[in-house]
Structure 1
Amino acid sequence: MTSIKIKLMVSGKGMEGSLVYQVIHNRIVRQIDSGYKVWISEWDELAEMVVLEKADSARRRLLLAVARRIKTDREQLFQIVASLDRQGIYTTDDVLVRFRAWEYAGSFERFMEEVIVHLKELGKVRTSETYTMAYRNFMCFRKGVDIRLDEIDSDLMELYESHLKGRGLSLNTVSFYMRILRATYNRAVAKGLARQCYPFRYVYTGVEKTLKRALPLKFIKCIKQLDLSLHPSLDFARDMFLFSFYTRGMSFVDIAYLKKNDLQNGVLTYRRRKTGQLLFIKWERCMQEIVDKYTLPYSDYLLPIIKEKADERKQYQNALHAVNHNLKKVSLQACLPIRLTMYVARHSWASVAKSKHIPIAVISEGMGHSSENTTQIYLASLDNAVIDHANRLILKDL
């Protein structure tokens, strides 16, 4: 006969106690730490249950999570014991080994870490970074306490959504975190580590159209005409912004990784790191002026963002942070109505193109599609000469 009990172990006065599972078989006792801590006043020893009555709302949420976890763990321990009873002779150590294996396989924390490592191995570094960001945010909400994959339900996700909104995050940011967690959860379901119970059905996972982050051409001219010769860091940030605008809103990561041999016979050829799409841009004089200003003779890169071969991604990230920080200062000097970032250059090109009556198919509604995939489909179906003509019309007015 095997018995399973839940005990609160308190090591000192005025300290929280640790909840442990005691497995007793043939008078041999083994303990499993649940990983949860509660106060003596929050534990009913006779009923082996968490006490919720006196807890405030924040503490109650945590205690409810503890209650759900120990209920799930106890049920699993009983299932393990029942299975071992059917097999015959076993020890308490056998119970612990099976429970640890079940606990490891179903851990959200461990599974998420495995997904992130897998993404890195596939070369999807940027995606792994966004997953890491979402993972840390969720674990912050959980106060560092792990959860089993099969414990993730709609109630928990609604609480998490409320937590995110309470921090003042936009709907798109909330959706960003939710969609990553949903993708991770669906991976776990596909691997048989959780049963699909659609925990994200009541939370926002869409994409809300954001406030326009684009500048009219008159402000682009104003930025270009600023005399920043006494401020090299601001000058460089401004020039990177303009280079992005000149090259149809090229993203900073793509600018950073441009090589000198990407420019051949008056055409700049590059593959978008985000989507893998191959793009061709007719080289214009304004682009060459910026390259001439910053080129490093002994570097393979077109612009001095990545200067060493070691840790290229870290160099790009640090440069992006510095450029966006300095663009904020440029915004103030130019008295702009919005704060400059590298993304504003991308959006501005599309918006100006629209104002020039460039066909919607060329600019795909000035990046206004809810899905970027739609934008890519529209652009991919056009001849590059059409897009180059649109770009020349825009640059002509500068």
Structure 2
Amino acid sequence: MASIKVKFRPSSTIGKEGTIYYQIIHKRVIRQLKTDYRIYADEWDEGRATLILANNGRNGYLQSIKERINWDIKRLGNIVSHWENKQISYTADEIISVFQKAANEQTLFNFMNGITAQLRQMGKHRTSETYHATLRSFMQFRGYKDILLDEIDSDLMLMYEAWLHNRGLSKNSSSFYMRILRAVYNRAAEKELTSNRNPFKHVYTGIDKTVKRAIPLKAIKKIKNLDLSLHPALDFARDMFLFSFYTRGMSFIDMAHLKKKDQQNGILSYRRRKTGQQLLIKWEKCMQEIADKHKTDYGSPYLLQILKHPYDNRSQYKNALYRTNKNLKEVAKLVGISIPLTLYVARHSWASIAKSKNIPISVISEGMGHDSEMTTQIYLASLDNSVVDRANTQILRDLL
């Protein structure tokens, strides 16, 4: 059976990038498959034959290269496995020929992998993860057999939708995958890699109404009044939930990236990572209490103890989110809340409670930083931030 190895050829000029290539060995014949992936010598681990990622400006680029290498090796392995399983004789040159032919064809897997790598390189990690998850799901549906962009039609999408539903996914979940695939397909059509045959016209791509994920103010009071001094992990989770509620439903990723310098002169200023919209929040006493209770080390730039190291922020955030939501389930049991308690419930609850106090939808929308996500933002002018601050103060006063 053929062996495939990833190799690095350094540049003959000091300080210039070298190139990645693949070494294919079959029946003592050695061939090289060139790539256009270029890295510096200190970014390559020769012993482990892998890239070295670092927390610098090239990290996104290196991560995208690593993903492309993994995808190439998987495709080369699939070519070899197909011939081995069929007991078909082949050569190292034929492996390269088939690989290069497939690379030149406009296939969904190749095109979508390129978009995913590009998104990661641009720093859009969350979006790249959702694209990767969608591709992984579609690959499972296809039995990991790639498909030409020109072969995608409405019948295929209907079959994929049925496959998703048979696996227990809800209407909204299947729609989530469909919307991402549609975005990828539309991009391919814009690049004139395929003609747009509207393959998503018969599948559901909307957003169905879901069960409310909000709890009443009396439940939040119970959570606030819990004595968790003997349970520091639960105490931290509870406080992060309250901080999100206090700050008009701030998302956990925005909380994690808050800097000490963002709170000045009685105002907390931050930019939503999801939409890029800048929000200003009046700094209340209850927010200060949590910031003091969970303040970071002197040298840390962060306001809260969520990100503790200046590197690998994405992994730290995901681990902290998982632990916090897991501990919130325990908090929910202590106060008798039946719905699954997560940080997202804080956001829903703030909006629901604000609405129950007859605060205008436009004020709620502005307070939560909704942009194109809500229809109201299409026709509403930006509001005076003091209106939103008064709304938040009104809600927080009822917790006292």
- Report the TM-score when normalising by structure 2: 0.73
State the match for 2:387 in structure 1.
386
Secondary structure of 1:209's counterpart equals: coil
State the match for 1:341 in structure 2.
342
State the match for 1:162 in structure 2.
162
CA distance in 1: counterparts of 2:188 and 2:197, whole angstroms? 12
State the match for 1:331 in structure 2.
332
8 Å Cα contact 1:354/1:366 also seen in 2: no
What pairs with 1:1-398 in structure 2 (closer than 5 Å)?
100-101=100-101, 104-296=104-296, 297-364=298-365, 372-377=373-378, 381-398=382-399
Secondary structure of 1:174's counterpart equals: helix
CA distance in 2: counterparts of 1:217 and 1:182, whole angstroms? 40
CA distance in 2: counterparts of 1:256 and 1:363, whole angstroms? 23
**CA offset at residue 191 of structure 1?**
1.7
CA distance in 2: counterparts of 1:210 and 1:301, whole angstroms? 35
State the match for 2:71 in structure 1.
none
- Per-residue CA deviation, residues 280-307 of structure 1 (Å, 9 max, x unaligned), is 0000000000001010232110001001
Q: CA RMSD in A?
A: 2.7
CA 1:99–1:125 in structure 2 vs 1: closer, same or farther (change >3 Å)? closer
Corresponding residue pairs, total: 312
Q: Runs of 5+ in structure 1 lacking a partner?
A: 1-32, 41-92
**CA offset at residue 123 of structure 1?**
2.3
Q: Runs of 5+ in structure 2 lacking a partner?
A: 1-78, 87-92
CA 1:286–1:377 in structure 2 vs 1: closer, same or farther (change >3 Å)? farther
CA distance in 1: counterparts of 2:392 and 2:169, whole angstroms? 35
Secondary structure of 2:281's counterpart equals: strand
8 Å Cα contact 1:251/1:346 also seen in 2: yes
CA distance in 2: counterparts of 1:391 and 1:107, whole angstroms? 50
- Per-residue CA deviation, residues 280-335 of structure 1 (Å, 9 max, x unaligned), is 00000000000010102321100010011111111111100111111111111111
- Per-residue CA deviation, residues 253-273 of structure 1 (Å, 9 max, x unaligned), is 000000000001000000000
Q: Which is higher, the Rg of structure 1 or of structure 2?
A: 1
Corresponding letter in the other structure for 2:357: K
- Report the TM-score when normalising by structure 1: 0.73
CA distance in 1: counterparts of 2:104 and 2:226, whole angstroms? 59
CA distance in 2: counterparts of 1:370 and 1:35, whole angstroms? 49
**CA offset at residue 97 of structure 1?**
6.5
CA 1:142–1:99 in structure 2 vs 1: closer, same or farther (change >3 Å)? closer
Give % identity: 62
